[in-house]
Amino acid sequence: MTDAQAPPPGGLHAHSPEVAAAKARRWGAFYYAEQVLRVMKNYAWSMLMYSVGQPVAYLFAMGVGLATLVDSQDAAAFGGVSYLTFIAPALLMSAAVMTAANEFTFPVMAGFKWRRTYFGPHASPLTPSQIAAGHIMAVTLRLLLQSAIYFAAVALFGATPHGSAWLGILVATLAGLSFGLPLMAYSASITEDKGQFALVMRLIVMPLFLFSGTFFPLDTLPLALRWIGWISPIWHGTELGRVAGYGYQEPPLLTLVHVAVLAGLAAVGWILTRRRFEKRMGQ
């Protein structure tokens, strides 16, 4: 046997094209998720500082600094809990939604137009829906990890009095997906960058952050503005986070409505995203 015919050291060998194609068809979403996660690893510290550092700074400024003034004026204004405990779930949800807004806009545009990173995997047996699913899986993992780290920081501030408060991690991830997946479908439909994402951040994300009961109860807003919270994934997630975090009292039916809205938005967003990817990539 010549050197060229000798098996690789340790008995390792490459799969045949048929086997490799079959594995890609079965596990393609996981393969693409791995690729996205490897790219994220290159700027992990930047993601950590933006995704966790910014809301923790808000938490310290609003929940520790401003809270000393708010709590001294009216201790019962926020359901009998401290202002810090009141805003902590809202900031957790807001951080997840803002991260999703970033991950499902510019990277999607890059995948289709700027860097065309979706088309290389598509030249393999990976389908457009697998590529979309892989991207979503990677971002979901990021949202889970980010929310867990932020929750740990919140716990250090003493703003998680109930043992079920950890459920806020899952709620924040769902809230991020409920906003991010419809946005991903929209991003996949854009063929020319004309500042659409900047408008989304300024005219949608920021108003949702400010008017979703983040810093004060939603019912203190004028009725003309209250509807912003009613349609906001941040508000629905925040209400669930407060129920789990400190036992916020609300009708059980309303709790189910919050879950249904978040899950429904995420499901519709996934369906639209899959269709858009398949249409855009010629399947």
Structural domain includes residue 6: no
Structural domain includes residue 10: no
Structural domain includes residue 21: no
Whether the per-residue pLDDT at 283 is higher than 70: the answer is no
Ramachandran class of 234: left when φ > 0, alpha when ψ lies in -120 to 50, beta otherwise: alpha
In this prediction, residue 1 has a pLDDT band, given cuts at 50, 70 and 90, of very low
Whether the per-residue pLDDT at 72 is higher than 70: the answer is no
Structural domain includes residue 20: no
Ramachandran class of 125: left when φ > 0, alpha when ψ lies in -120 to 50, beta otherwise: alpha
pLDDT tens-digit map of 237-251 = 999 999 999 988 899
| CA atoms of 235 and 54, how far apart (whole Å) | 19
Structural domain includes residue 8: no
How confident is the model at residue 17, as a pLDDT? Answer: 63
Summarize the confidence of residues 231-235 as an average pLDDT. 96
Q: Which has more confidence, 93 or 73?
A: 93
Average pLDDT value over all residues in the chain: 86
Whether the per-residue pLDDT at 281 is higher than 80: the answer is yes
Summarize the confidence of residues 85-108 as an average pLDDT. 93
How confident is the model at residue 71, as a pLDDT? Answer: 58
How many C-beta atoms lie closer than 10 Å to residue 2's C-beta? 5
- Tell me what percent of the residues of the chain surpass a pLDDT of 70: 84
| CA nearest to 91, candidates 28, 38, 146, 18 | 146
Whether the per-residue pLDDT at 7 is higher than 60: the answer is no
Whether the per-residue pLDDT at 86 is higher than 60: the answer is yes
| Overall pTM surpassing 0.75 (yes/no) | yes
In this prediction, residue 198 has a pLDDT band, given cuts at 50, 70 and 90, of very high
Q: What is the tally of structural domains in the chain?
A: 1
Structural domain includes residue 215: yes
Structural domain includes residue 230: yes
| CA atoms of 21 and 27, how far apart (whole Å) | 10
pLDDT tens-digit map of 161-184 = 888 999 999 999 999 999 999 999
How confident is the model at residue 139, as a pLDDT? Answer: 97
Q: Tell me, what amino acid is at 117?
A: T
**Cβ 94 vs Cβ 214: under 8 Å:** yes
Whether the per-residue pLDDT at 2 is higher than 60: the answer is no
How many C-beta atoms lie closer than 10 Å to residue 37's C-beta? 16
Query: Domain residues for 203?
Result: 26-280
Structural domain includes residue 203: yes
194: Cα separation from own chain's centroid: 24
Summarize the confidence of residues 246-270 as an average pLDDT. 95
